[in-house]
Structure 1
């Protein structure tokens, strides 16, 4: 009696295409996968293990934010043991500080832990399981917040953080395709109960807006991804222009040189300077106030002082300076 072939993991083709775009053919170092034990990271972990058997390490972060976290660890360790995949676990304290959202605090702690674990095992890259639904949610979240070009560009396929390279090969794969394959292939995964908590904005978008968009605009995920790609391209051009302008103003920027630029180019250069040199993002209101202070700076003793993130932009001689207050 003939048997039907095993269903193909939709991550296999997506991972191969991502590797081609990144020139990532045969890695010399181990490959890490951020493995939460959820559906998306489970499908990605199996695809990576299929592509690079014996070279993949699963990295699991225990956030300590809910009682189910211990169960996630047990599932992750058991799953990896069954499939012959090495697994590392790190516990973090992801409580948020005053003025910081719980989601941002957990994300920050997670990336620090992933980078730390990856560097400890010598991994060349950490693969993340964000998929097409996550990308669409990110664009809608950015729109709801009135975000600029960096926010509308959503999630990049490849980026560096905390000295570690990260990759997102599944941004074109819908969540439904991942879950359908896992069900057909008989692979178990866990569902994080916090994903249903609509106190979080992203969860409300997932539960309410995404179904409405799907009903009105079938295929909207690909369209939003295309818009995000256009925004990312535009942002790269703005970054190139900022680099040209900062080469003229110096780094940190000289106030007199900034004043020779148009207001739009000043905003672009200052946003780039703060992001690349201080790893902080200024709001539109903060940048408007900073530009007003720069325009008014016509005497030697004029003072500039503006709070941005957890620090201040001030005047030091003829240049701007950013210093963290932490």
Structure 2
């Protein structure tokens, strides 16, 4: 590579400005190894690392040993958290593991390095496309089609994904150019997982048929994210008008589409649950039918029940 041309990881970090110091979620795989190495080169002495040990496979201890050894070489402080993520009814093991991982990352940073306010994650362009395709396969709306955000706030921390414009192959090529090894998670080759099937079968076909698909798909996801931001603003304004909890008569003054929008917003923001499409349609039908004081309403929605309470709606978690 010519000296004047930056490698894709270096280009991605050129426009990235995390608060210093910051933490990197470090699994030991190629993506997070590239992230830790590139960040430690760009911000020496300002990087911390958190390794999450899931204990789901025999190779997990080897992952931890690799991470510890590399952090010693790089002079990066490392902390390890072990999690055992059980999944609730209707929740996938992958989703349970992801939520446990984020909670452990936040806990580790707040406990070990209270001065750290930013956490950096290694999901890249291929991960983003896989997320979009999974959302499409499930008939997702705009929140799903928006895929993964590059920046967001959670648990009082700023989270970042600077690799979303970088293909996974480019990260591996860059690591090889640096003479840096990484660990391979055996589960990544198991095609019983939808994401792995997409990676092994769909992405190569897309690359052959639509060479620019990573850029164009990512652009569509960005458009969806922008549209969702506008809808979130509308939903917040409508919720302020209909009240918290929502008043039935005020809801009925809105169009059915805006009722759906504000009810999703209320359930997601205040009760951390999301209704299925069928549940939401039934809830809208019941709201429309609430024309007398005696009309009762009790529906399973997300992780709880929506009930009529006087002139409004209430939510009871399971």
* TM-score under structure 1 length normalisation: 0.93
What is the CA deviation profile of residues 86-135 of structure 1, one whole-angstrom value per residue up to 9, with x for unaligned ones? 11100000232332211111111111101111222122111000101111
Mapped partners of 2:64, 2:7: distance in 1: 24
Task: Tell me what 2:86 maps to.
Answer: 95
Q: Which runs of 5+ in 2 are unaligned?
A: none
Q: Give the counterpart of 2:180 among 166, 175, 187.
A: 187
Question: Larger deviation: 301-310 or 144-153?
Answer: 301-310
State the shift of 1:164 in Å: 2.6
Q: Give the counterpart of 2:43 among 52, 60, 80.
A: 52
Task: Tell me what 1:114 maps to.
Answer: 105
Task: Tell me what 1:290 maps to.
Answer: 283
4+ residue stretches of structure 1 with deviation over 4 A?
Answer: 4-9
SS at match of 2:308: strand
SS at match of 2:306: strand
Mapped partners of 2:308, 2:14: distance in 1: 50
Task: Tell me what 1:245 maps to.
Answer: 238
Mapped partners of 1:132, 1:140: distance in 2: 12
Count of aligned residue pairs for this structure pair? 315
Q: Give the counterpart of 2:255 among 244, 250, 262.
A: 262
SS at match of 2:23: strand
Q: Give the counterpart of 1:149 among 142, 147, 150.
A: 142
2:310 maps to 1:312:
no
Q: Conserved in 2, the CA contact under 8 Å of 1:274 and 1:281?
A: yes
SS at match of 2:15: helix
What is the CA deviation profile of residues 249-269 of structure 1, one whole-angstrom value per residue up to 9, with x for unaligned ones? 011211110000000000011
Task: Tell me what 1:30 maps to.
Answer: 21
Task: Tell me what 1:279 maps to.
Answer: 272
Q: Which runs of 5+ in 1 are unaligned?
A: none
Question: Larger deviation: 289-298 or 162-171?
Answer: 162-171
Mapped partners of 1:75, 1:8: distance in 2: 28
Give the RMSD, CA atoms, in angstroms: 1.6
Mapped partners of 2:4, 2:51: distance in 1: 28
What is the CA deviation profile of residues 184-230 of structure 1, one whole-angstrom value per residue up to 9, with x for unaligned ones? 21101111111111111111111111111111000201111000000
SS at match of 2:16: helix
Task: Tell me what 1:83 maps to.
Answer: 74
